[in-house]
Amino acid sequence: MQAKIISNKAQTKVTPFQFTWRMLNNPLDALTYFAQTYGDMTHIQLPKRNFYFVNHPQFIEDVLVKQHANFVKGPSIQRARVILGEGLLTSEGKEHLAQRRALQPAFYRNKIEEYLPLMNENILHHTEGWENHSTIDMTEEMMRLTLNIALWSFFGNAPQDSVERVSRSMKTLIRLFPLAQLPLPDVTRMFFPKFRQAKDDLDRITQSLINNQSQVENVKRALIQILKEENNQFSESQIHAHTLTFLLAGHETTALLLTWCWDMLAHHPHVQEKLQNEVDAVLENRLPTADDIQKLTYTTSVVKETLRMRPPAWAMGRQAIENCIVGEQEIKAGDVVLMSQWVMQHDSRFYDSALQFRPERWLLNPKPSLPRYAYFPFGGGNRVCIGEHFAMIEAVTALALIARHWKVKPINSKMAIPKPSVTLRPRANVKVLIEKR
């Protein structure tokens, strides 16, 4: 599906007041409004710099792929350095390229498939205490499940106190993240006691997980060994930054994806039934293998459709380091370009019935031609999410194993309301009623 570009160049300037007022009210509605009102290129003039919000796959591809060398990560990721240090998410240029080359092999699909038995075991263990006809807080449960899986995969074990402490610190840091967004020097932020406490605790847990010299088989295969083996390449502070990045980036996003999947399934019983039929037919009574995951095509399309409608990464930014041109718009060094998965992936120019949850759209044969960047839940270009296979395999496995034994029903008649913060979270935790199948 191709779509004509609605304005190659920003025609109207959005004022700082209009931008701030709308974004404070509801960022998802604000960005949707800008795209619908001003077309595919909105110019927002803020006191210190220009922002351009682009909403066409061609422009997004320009920024992320064709002209990526003209851009670095946007201000909000730059400020996340105060938490993450110089890891893969925050480094730039040659430094990033070298890190990415060294780490990429550990994230190839066949490598990630080796973690499958560990994922299966964690999912079964996590759900064994669930009781028939009880209410389950899926937001909490999925957060803990994915954190456990991350700890086991990255460090080879998951000491109970580390699960508690990482969850607690993460909650504080996410709550206080707007603080990290204030344009203050890093050192000032460290005077906010709660922020500093949470960050210090995360650093301490990460370091003790790194130092764990246990020789169990799991540890030998865990991601941390790959970092340590590349010892000549990675300094101690880089190992620390990478592990912290994988721990944070690697569990919260996937937990939210799963939470949104359960909300969708609870409110679309016919989709849930179809998914369960597929799981029964493919798995019978076995635990999923890598081959099974490939065969779970409907389950995979439920995950893809959820990523379209509830993208955990709902917007991303880039800052120009060189003057360049996107569409016909001149972007000056220092300007910021915003792109939103939420707005693009709800665009009816590219999706029939864009507001409807229809996993079948991913199985159509022949596939409708979707421009590459009309769908980018994992970003794109040289900074595409390194954990994409990890997240997809984990999400499909968790849905399949849980849906095989449990039917979920909604508690509220309305679906959860998305609340965008660092990631796209539900405004209130998603709770469902579970029934044994």
The site that binds ligand HEM (CB under 6 A) totals a number of residues, namely: 24
Q: CB-wise, 249 or 331, nearer to ligand HEM?
A: 249
Q: Which is nearer to ligand HEM, 39 or 380 (CB)?
A: 380
Report the residue closest to ligand HEM, judged by CB: 387
* β partners of residue 42: 53
Q: Which is nearer to ligand HEM, 88 or 198 (CB)?
A: 88
CB of 142 to ligand HEM, least distance (A): 11
Note whether 316 binds ligand HEM by CB under 6 A. yes
Q: Which is nearer to ligand HEM, 126 or 308 (CB)?
A: 308
Stretch that binds ligand HEM, among 188-196, 282-290, 376-384, 406-414 (CB under 6 A): 376-384
Q: What's at 369, amino acid-wise?
A: S
Closest CA to 297 of 199, 349, 367: 367
Task: From 42-50, 241-249, 263-271, 293-301, give the range in contact with ligand HEM by CB under 6 A.
Answer: 241-249
Q: Any contact of residue 312 with ligand HEM (CB under 6 A)?
A: yes
Task: Check binding of 424 to ligand HEM (CB under 6 A).
Answer: no
> Is the Cβ of residue 318 or residue 431 nearer to ligand HEM in the bound state?
318
**Residue 169 within binding range of ligand HEM, rule CB under 6 A:** no
52-111: which residues touch ligand HEM (CB under 6 A)? Answer: 73, 77, 88-89, 100
For ligand HEM, the closer CB: 19 or 71: 71
Instruction: Determine if 257 is a binding residue for ligand HEM (CB under 6 A).
Output: yes
Instruction: Report the residue number, 259 or 272, with the smaller CB distance to ligand HEM.
Output: 259
Query: According to the binding rule CB under 6 A, does residue 170 interact with ligand HEM?
Result: no
Question: Binding residue for ligand HEM (CB under 6 A) from 42, 245, 300, 301?
Answer: 245
C-alpha 140/C-alpha 423 separation (Å) is 15
Q: Does 315 bind ligand HEM (CB under 6 A)?
A: no
Q: Does 249 bind ligand HEM (CB under 6 A)?
A: yes
Binding status of residue 387 toward ligand HEM by CB under 6 A: yes
Residues of this chain that bind ligand HEM (CB under 6 A): 73, 77, 88-89, 100, 245-246, 249-250, 253-254, 257, 312-313, 316, 377-379, 383, 385-387, 390-391
